[in-house]
Amino acid sequence: MPRYSETRPHVRSTTILSVRRGNLVAIGGDGQVTMNQAAIKHDARKIRSLLDGKVFCGFAGATADAFALMERFEAKLEKHKANLRRAAIDLAKDWRTDRLLRRLEAVMITIAPDATLMLTGMGDVIEPEDGVVAAGSGGMYAMAAAKALLAHTDLPADRIVECALNIAADICVYTNHHILVEKLATAPAGNA
């Protein structure tokens, strides 16, 4: 008999990208949700504001799982007084060790003025050294486009995210052109 995970519909649902440049950090995502071979939603909102806009979070993976993780993450942010790194490490520990949480299938990318982090259910808390990180079906396309735009243009972070996600949407069938981008001013040097 096949396992439940082999029989449930395969949902491919996103491309999330974050870029840091100069005094700006941006995060964006597309709006497509695909189940098996059908695009079933075109305007899903995969970027969420936490702590009244002080932190933004994007997610790739199962939607209910992502929302459960974001609720816990916001609680961790409140507990650690908006310290993104401490909250992320605390959540990653729970996500990896808790019997129920470790079944959740999602990847989160979070931004705050002083940090960009990617969190996974494997216990990873990754801070990209070049300020570019992506997740989801079209993540590698978007990341490659963003790195090229960083190297060869003077575009600000939010425009790079928008352009790179549109390039990914032209290539990845699980990514569409309904793009949402959010941005924050970065922390001044020395305050990180």
Q: What is the pLDDT of residues 142-185, one digit of tens each?
A: 999 999 999 999 999 999 999 999 999 999 999 999 999 999 99
Tokens for 10, please give them: 């395969």
Residue 34 is among the residues annotated as catalytic for this protein: no
Tell me the range of 6-10, 42-46, 47-51, 69-73 where mean pLDDT is highest: 47-51
pTM flag (> 0.75): yes
Instruction: Compute CA 106 distance to the chain's CA centroid, rounded to the nearest angstrom.
Output: 9
Tokens for 173, please give them: 């069938």
Q: What is the mean pLDDT of residues 90-97?
A: 84
What CATH number is given for 7-182 in this structure? 3.60.20.10
Q: Which of 7, 14, 175, 186 is catalytic?
A: 14
Four-residue CA torsion sign, 37, 43, 49, 50? negative
Ordered strands of the 38-41 beta sheet: 11-12, 33-35, 38-41
Q: What is the pLDDT of residue 68?
A: 81
Residues 6+ apart with CB under 8 A from 64: none
